[in-house]
């Protein structure tokens, strides 16, 4: 499989790493296009892939084209490649840009809209995606394999769930990082050395997530297993609920969802 990746930024690197790690394509079959010479040099030296600053050249001869640029850069990129598409699989990972907009501006219908998150950089990402009906069965499987290489993937037949997934899993790592930062700061506040607080918090977060995944229990059940009547956890949870922790999270995700819906109208 020959792959063209337009955009050598954070997500472009994550895609290259994932494809090479899962051996979906060899480095000689990957072409990365980026306007920044520094980015091209890095990709060539770090991964041994081909590089160019010509998007049309990158697309030529590719089986799959991955648009790994920011939403505000996407329109210009699509104009440059729209006349070059024949039987390509096109995957966009730009937040908030609908299939309708992608297909219209590309003048092309074999398109996937995907929303990975930052954990894709270490192969532990969560990618929500949807696709047009024009994708062939092999193209569908190719898209799934590329996105699964970055971690877990979830396909939605109905595109309406994409902006919701963007607000939950796409933006989700930022919420988790903020919680981790706050929990570390809390540990330091009560007297723990910062490095030890950091280790305690990170391993607690990782272990809790892994336990929930393997035990397949409702989070409320797991929470109750930790909570003893009249104990320290009960006191902490009361403080969180009194402070509106649950509603703050809901409001934050709702705000991200509304923003994601608004992106496509700009």
CA distance 190 to 53: 52
Check if CATH label 1.10.3730.10 holds for domain 172-263: yes
Task: Give the pLDDT score at 119.
Answer: 96
The answer to whether the beta carbons of residues 89 and 64 sit under 8 Å apart is: yes
Task: Give the pLDDT score at 263.
Answer: 83
Q: 60: which residues sit within 8 A by CB, 6+ positions away?
A: 84
The answer to whether the beta carbons of residues 137 and 230 sit under 8 Å apart is: no
Count of CB atoms situated within 10 Å of the CB of 158: 7
The answer to whether the beta carbons of residues 11 and 93 sit under 8 Å apart is: yes
Of 137, 98, 121, residue with least CA distance to 12: 121
Which parts of the chain have pLDDT scores under 50? none
Task: Give the pLDDT score at 170.
Answer: 95
Domain residue spans of the chain: 3-157, 172-263
Task: Give the pLDDT score at 96.
Answer: 86
The answer to whether the beta carbons of residues 175 and 249 sit under 8 Å apart is: yes
The answer to whether the beta carbons of residues 106 and 89 sit under 8 Å apart is: no
Residue with tokens 């797991």: 222
Of 141, 153, 142, residue with least CA distance to 1: 142
The phi and psi torsions of 163 (rounded to 5 degrees) equal: -65, -30
Task: Give the pLDDT score at 153.
Answer: 98
Q: What is the pLDDT of residues 170-210, one digit of tens each?
A: 999 999 999 999 999 999 999 999 999 999 999 999 999 99
Task: Give the pLDDT score at 72.
Answer: 86
Bridge partners (DSSP) of residue 126 are: 152
Question: How much is the pTM?
Answer: 0.91
Superfamily of domain 3-157: NAD(P)-binding Rossmann-like Domain (3.40.50.720)
């Amino acid at each position: 499989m020959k792959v063209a990746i337009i955009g050598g930024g954070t997500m472009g690197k994550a895609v290259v790493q994932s494809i090479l790690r899962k051996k979906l394509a060899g480095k000689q079959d990957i072409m990365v296009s980026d306007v920044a010479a520094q980015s091209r040099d890095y990709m060539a030296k770090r991964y041994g892939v081909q590089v160019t600053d010509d998007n049309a050249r990158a697309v030529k001869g590719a089986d799959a084209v991955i648009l790994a640029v920011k939403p505000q850069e996407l329109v210009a990129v699509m104009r440059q490649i729209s006349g070059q598409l024949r039987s390509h699989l096109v995957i966009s990972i730009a937040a908030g840009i609908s299939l309708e907009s992608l297909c219209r501006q590309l003048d092309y219908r074999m398109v996937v809209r995907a929303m990975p998150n930052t954990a894709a950089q270490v192969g532990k990402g969560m990618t929500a995606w949807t696709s047009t009906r024009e994708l062939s069965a092999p193209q569908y499987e190719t898209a799934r394999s590329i996105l699964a290489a970055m971690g877990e993937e979830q396909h939605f037949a109905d595109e309406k769930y994409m902006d919701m997934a963007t607000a939950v899993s796409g933006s989700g790592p930022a919420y988790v990082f903020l919680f981790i930062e706050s929990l570390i700061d809390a540990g330091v506040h009560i007297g723990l050395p910062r490095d030890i607080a950091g280790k305690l918090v990170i391993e607690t977060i990782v272990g809790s997530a892994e336990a929930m995944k393997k035990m397949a229990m409702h989070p409320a059940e797991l929470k109750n297993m930790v909570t003893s009547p009249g104990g320290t956890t009960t006191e902490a949870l009361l403080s969180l609920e009194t402070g509106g922790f649950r509603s703050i999270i809901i409001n934050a995700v709702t705000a991200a969802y509304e923003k994601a819906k608004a992106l496509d109208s700009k």
